[in-house]
Amino acid sequence: MLAGTYRHYLGSRRATLLAITLCVLVSFWLLGLNPLRLFSGNNLTLTRDFLLSAFQPALDYQKPIEGAEPFLLTVISTTLLTLRFALLAMSVAIPCGALLALLASTAWWPDIRRHKMLGWVLRPLCLSSRIIMAFSRSIHELIWGLLFITAMGLSTDAAIIAVAIPYSGILAKIYSEMFEEHSREAQRALQAIGAGSIVAFLAGLLPRALPDLITYTFYRLECAVRTAAVFGFVGIETIGYRIKLASDEFHYREIWTYLYVLFAMIMVIEWWSRALRKRMET
Amino acid sequence: MSARAEETRLARIAYLRRQQPRPWFLYLSLLAIILAGGWAWTAGDLYTSVLTASQRSANLERFIGKLTPAPVQASGDWSDFRPWAMELLVEGEALKAVGMTLALATAAAALSGLFALLFIPGAARNLSTPRPLGITGGRDTFPLIWDIINKVSRLAFVFTRSLPEYILGFLLISILGPDPWALVLALAIHNFGILGRLGSEVVENAPPRPARTVIAHGGGRLGAYLAAILPESFNRMVVYFFYRWETCVREATVLGMLGVISLGFLITNAKAARSFDQMLFFVLLGALIVLAGDLLSLLVRRWLRVER
Amino acid sequence: MPKTSHSLAPTFHFRKVECRYGKLKALTSVSLSVERGEKVAIVGPSGGGKTTLLRLCNATLQAHSGTVEILGKCSENLHPRQLRLIRSQIATIPQDLGLVPNLRVWQNIVSGKIGKLNLLGNLRNLLAPSKNTISKIHSLLERVGIEDKLFARTAELSGGQQQRVAVARALFQEPEAILADEPVSSVDPARAASLVELLNDIANERGLTLLMSLHNLELARNHFPRLIGLRGGQVHLDQCPQQIDPGSLEALYRLDADEILEDG
Ligand SMILES: Nc1ncnc2c1ncn2[C@@H]1O[C@H](COP(=O)(O)OP(=O)(O)OP(=O)(O)O)[C@@H](O)[C@H]1O
Ligand SMILES: [Mg+2]
């Protein structure tokens, strides 16, 4: 019996690895099997220039521009704009995601065998919010952005909503998974002493899941900062926009400055999230 | 109860309350978040639009008018949809684009996974220390080396993680030319950071007993990693791999916008040609692939019986 | 309802109760009565039906036939509100204790009243409790012997201390009866005995009914005036410990033939 399950286990492992390898080989073949042609001729010098510039990020424009704002001021205002975009998108996505997550999860439901009527209301609500969740996150935020821009032109609201839609879906998915995954012992204990299902959820499950919820939300904020940077490519003057301008002029050292700024922002968010988590857990 | 006893109790409670350190950091964080949110909402527009409201609604009307597939709009008959879609799929290269999207994602996930596996033992705090898994490794000639290896690999993970795929793709294509491998590299670099971090957490949380046995029997750190920790946490690693593959698929659909055949490329082309019906078709096709990827990843998770 | 008749009714009254999980009969034809203020230990082998019996007592499970009366009220077909009212009068200490580890000790205790208050009252208690409430909790913690832990994080307490938090929560509830399902299975013998003693003393002081399932026969015999032995879902014995003869105890715990085979 034991040997049998063990063998099965090994088999499933080997099969997984084999299947992955096979898929990878097919993909390599589809992509053309010569990745090394990337680094031929002129590319090599460009690559070297680019990598060497990492050691001397620009503190001023590589080619001075008459009458322009000082470089470092531009960096600061770009950083602030990127951060602001991320915050705006998240402040829409978090409440929407939390609402969707609650609708999609069964953790706070009363016993629907007892409340038949309620079951008829809750089940369709749950299903439809799951569908909304899956659909909204299956389209990338940049594509949402593109759709909004072609539909009615670029604007602050369009950009925020384009990011908030898929982000609400992703947050909702993870939140609801966390509600379902956390151990229910406290919730059940509270129900056994007469708590209603919603109160038992609020007092027994939510506090338990809170550290995980917060950690994940911070991770999403980190992603939002990156997305905000990328939205520079559709016209909002965030980090991506500056990188694009600098790249058009081959100003690699300026690019590195912006990359380092992005890195610093991500580091700060990660540090903050870790510090919060440590204080909430121990 | 006498008033006096009650008073001493209250004094005692106040004392206990003072003994417990106040969570100032939590309070300050909450305040900072509220302030940051307020600042974000009140500091003005991100982008000053030049369009007026009427232009905007005219835009919207035109866009919506062109969303139904052109032949269907002409004949008013949805049976014309199938040939139109088939044509887009085969001759419009949508199928090829789908294949490319999946290939990009798979190659990138595999590359990043492979390289992450190489760096993970360096980044795991329980392995790259002078005392791996709490067992003394003998007298090290230079104990600081482990600290340095640890810091460097962690830094590598965070740095690569902080670079968005799209920006990396843009830079790599501008340096290396429009080649799908540039996009693979872009996806792989970002995911290397994420997989590396997730993987080193898995290694840190793996049950230490088997690995300790390897070291106690004279094996090294690498031996413990390969022979004990990796087999132990195989399932979890595979689950993370599929989780990242799923997001790679999502990301690969847009990377095509940078000029390499994949769905994003077709979407931008259709947009430029103002054939919004085709654009919507490609967008929905992309959504379908992402959903399929989600489903596959879910099935693998079920199969390996590990929750994420 | 006249108060006197209410207080005269037994705390729990089972009449020919049968309870199934799917096809499996967890309890068959159980009849018993537990009076107010009585202290009863439920013993018996694993799978004997102890947990099932306790779950019937706080109406988290419904009998399939027969009647269960809790505090004089039949627990069948109750409106959810009445059901919650009954549950709020019975304190339950589950085996896993059901505490929220990342809340403070006082927050866990304050949720003892959760069934007696509405949503707003509960939120207020959990987030901004009154001085009186905290003072009450402090006195309860003093009773269970860990008053210094009032503001500590629950996860930082030892297993034995957490059990005491669960007891304090039960007391804060001001119940008519306390149910405890194997409350001492995860602590050392000395702590197990002191917790059983504590619960007994408290039940005596306040005239509470105490129903506790125990795997430790010694503890059950030393501290309880009445033992109920469950085996295979039936009441195998129901006596005071002095009257129990060793033969029937052995029969209560004897391994069945199939169990022996499974082990070998
Ligand atoms: N949720 C359930 N679903 C199906 N069967 C169950 C369930 N709970 C208990 N049973 C079965 O009912 C019978 C009685 O279980 P119960 O939990 O009451 O035993 P117990 O005396 O508390 O045992 P233990 O000492 O191991 O806790 C057992 O055969 C058990 O397998
Ligand atoms: Mg039990």
Selected for mutation to probe chain B from C102, C138, C153, C154 (highest B CB count within 10 Å) is C138
Mutation choice for ligand 1 from C17, C18, C21, C92, CB with most ligand atoms inside 8 A: C21
Domain assignment present for residue C1? The answer is no
What average pLDDT does range B96-106 have in this prediction? 91
Q: Do both C17 and C70 map to the same domain?
A: yes
For ligand 1, atom 4, the nearest C-alpha belongs to: C21
Distance CA C239, CA C216 (A): 17
Distance CA A105, CA B143 (A): 50
Among candidates B9, B10, B16 on the partner chain, residue whose Cβ is nearest the Cβ of C151: B16
Q: Do both C42 and C146 map to the same domain?
A: no
Residues in C closer than 8 angstroms to B13, CB to CB, are: 134-135, 138, 150
pLDDT on residue A33: 66
Residue A72 has pLDDT above 70, yes or no: yes
- Residue ranges of domains in chain B: 3-45, 89-307
- Count helices and strands (H / E) in chain B: 15, 0
| Residue B233 or residue C141, greater confidence | C141
Find the residues whose C-beta lies inside 6 A of ligand 1.
C 21, 24, 26, 44, 46-52
Among candidates C135, C150, C151 on the partner chain, residue whose Cβ is nearest the Cβ of B6: C135
Looking up residue C62, the CATH number of its domain turns out to be: 3.40.50.300
Give the closest ligand to the alpha carbon of residue C52: 1
Picking from B187, B160, B159, the residue whose alpha carbon sits closest to that of residue B173 is B187
Distance CA A121, CA A101 (A): 16
Picking from B256, B270, B23, the residue whose alpha carbon sits closest to that of residue A278 is B23
Domain assignment present for residue C149? The answer is yes
Residue ending a domain, choose from C174, C196, C212: C174
pLDDT on residue B140: 65
Domain assignment present for residue C54? The answer is yes
What region does A41 belong to: left with phi over 0, alpha with psi -120 to 50, or beta? left
What region does C99 belong to: left with phi over 0, alpha with psi -120 to 50, or beta? beta
Nearest CA in chain C to A111: C80
Q: Which tens digits make up the pLDDT trace of B119-169?
A: 998 888 888 877 777 776 666 667 788 888 889 999 999 999 999 999 999
The number of beta carbons lying within 10 Å of the beta carbon of residue C73 is: 18
Residue C27 Cα to ligand 1 middle (Å)? 10
Which of A59-63, A123-127, B255-259, B278-282 is predicted with the least confidence, judged by mean pLDDT?
Answer: A59-63
For ligand 1, atom 3, the nearest C-alpha belongs to: C21
Domain assignment present for residue C209? The answer is yes
The number of beta carbons lying within 10 Å of the beta carbon of residue C62 is: 14
Residue with tokens 């099969």: A15
Reported pTM: 0.89
What confidence tier does A36 reach under pLDDT thresholds 50, 70, 90? Answer: low
Domain assignment present for residue C37? The answer is yes
Kindly provide the residue ranges of all beta strands, DSSP E only, lying in B98-194, ordered along the sequence: none
Q: Do both C239 and C125 map to the same domain?
A: no
**Residue C230: which residues within 8 A CB-CB, separation 6 or more?**
C27, C42, C43, C44, C48, C49, C50, C53, C236
Picking from C73, C97, C99, the residue whose alpha carbon sits closest to that of residue C9 is C73
Selected for mutation to probe chain C from A114, A193, A276, A277 (highest C CB count within 10 Å) is A193
Q: Do both C193 and C260 map to the same domain?
A: yes
Q: Do both C103 and C69 map to the same domain?
A: no
List phi, psi (to 5°) of A110: -70, 170
B contact chains, 3+ CB pairs < 8 A: A, C
Contact A193 C92 (CB under 8 A): yes
Residue A11 Cα to ligand 1 middle (Å)? 35
For residue B213, what are its two tokens?
Answer: 């046995």
Q: Do both C166 and C44 map to the same domain?
A: no
List phi, psi (to 5°) of C209: -80, 140
Q: Do both C85 and C185 map to the same domain?
A: yes
Does residue C151 belong to the interface with chain B, where contact is any CB pair within 8 Å? Answer: yes
CA C47 to mean position of chain CA atoms: 17
pLDDT in tens, chain C (264 residues): 344 444 568 889 999 999 999 888 999 999 999 999 999 999 999 888 999 999 999 998 889 999 999 998 888 888 888 889 999 999 999 988 999 998 999 999 999 999 999 889 999 999 999 999 999 999 999 988 898 999 999 998 988 899 999 999 999 999 999 999 988 877 788 888 998 999 999 999 999 999 999 988 888 999 999 999 999 889 988 888 888 888 888 888 887 766 655 543
Asked: is B89-307 a CATH 1.10.3720.10 domain? The reply is yes
Residues in A closer than 8 angstroms to B56, CB to CB, are: 152-153, 155
Picking from C150, C155, C62, the residue whose alpha carbon sits closest to that of residue C110 is C150
Domain assignment present for residue C2? The answer is no
Domain assignment present for residue C169? The answer is yes
For ligand 1, atom 25, the nearest C-alpha belongs to: C46
Q: Which tens digits make up the pLDDT trace of B62-92?
A: 888 877 777 777 777 777 778 888 888 877 7
Element (H, E) at C38: none
Element (H, E) at C22: none
Residue A271 Cα to ligand 2 middle (Å)? 44
Q: Do both C145 and C117 map to the same domain?
A: yes
Instruction: Kindly give the interhelix angle for B234-255 and B263-272, rounded to the nearest 10 degrees.
Output: 20
Domain assignment present for residue C3? The answer is no
Task: Determine the residue type at A163.
Answer: V
Residues in C closer than 8 angstroms to A115, CB to CB, are: 80
Q: Do both C182 and C51 map to the same domain?
A: yes
C contact chains, 3+ CB pairs < 8 A: A, B
pLDDT on residue C3: 41
Domain span at residue C36?
Answer: 8-89+178-264
Burial class (CB in 10 A: 0-12, 13-18, 19+), A235: middle
Among candidates B23, B103, B177 on the partner chain, residue whose Cβ is nearest the Cβ of A27: B103
Contact B13 C152 (CB under 8 A): no
Distance CA B297, CA B238 (A): 10
**Residue C257: which residues within 8 A CB-CB, separation 6 or more?**
none
Q: In the predicted model, what is the mean pLDDT of chain A? A: 88
A3 CA: distance to closest CA in chain C (Å): 18
